[in-house]
Structure 1
């Protein structure tokens, strides 16, 4: 079952670095949404992959 994990970012560079890291770790681009107005990254993932996404968010200082 897939769920969304949302994270808040503070700059476009931070969001791009997170995007690159997520895609590099094998998350399909269609599962990643960045809202620049709200400064939120939403990642649709299976529940068992949540820990990996949290680690990527932590690495880049994104709060969730």
Structure 2
């Protein structure tokens, strides 16, 4: 199964840095999204990658972070 891990940030720079780190750590660029309007980063990962994605997102001090199963 897969998860969508989402993190909400206070500013776009922090969100952009999180995206850059996810991609540089090997997450598929096509599965990492930055919503500039809501300043949220979303990454689709297999269950086994959820913890690593959350750790990377947390390094950039999100306001909130959550995950949901991909349907």
Tell me the TM-score normalized by structure 1. 0.91
Partners of 1:8 and 1:29 in 2: CA distance: 19
Structure 1 unaligned spans of 5+:
none
**Considering only aligned residues, what root-mean-square deviation do their CA atoms show, in Å?**
0.9
Superposed CA deviations along residues 2-27 of structure 1, whole A, max 9, x for unmatched, are: 22011101111101110110001100
Partners of 1:19 and 1:46 in 2: CA distance: 17
Structure 2 unaligned spans of 5+:
66-71
Moved over 2 A (4+): none
Bigger share in strand:
2
Q: Which residue of 2 aligns with 1:54?
A: 54
Q: Secondary structure at the match of 1:17?
A: helix
Partners of 1:3 and 1:55 in 2: CA distance: 15
Partners of 1:59 and 1:15 in 2: CA distance: 11
Bigger share in helix:
1
Tell me the TM-score normalized by structure 2. 0.83
Q: Which residue of 2 aligns with 1:34?
A: 34
The count of corresponding residues between Structure 1 and Structure 2 is: 64
Shift in Å, 1:48:
0.9
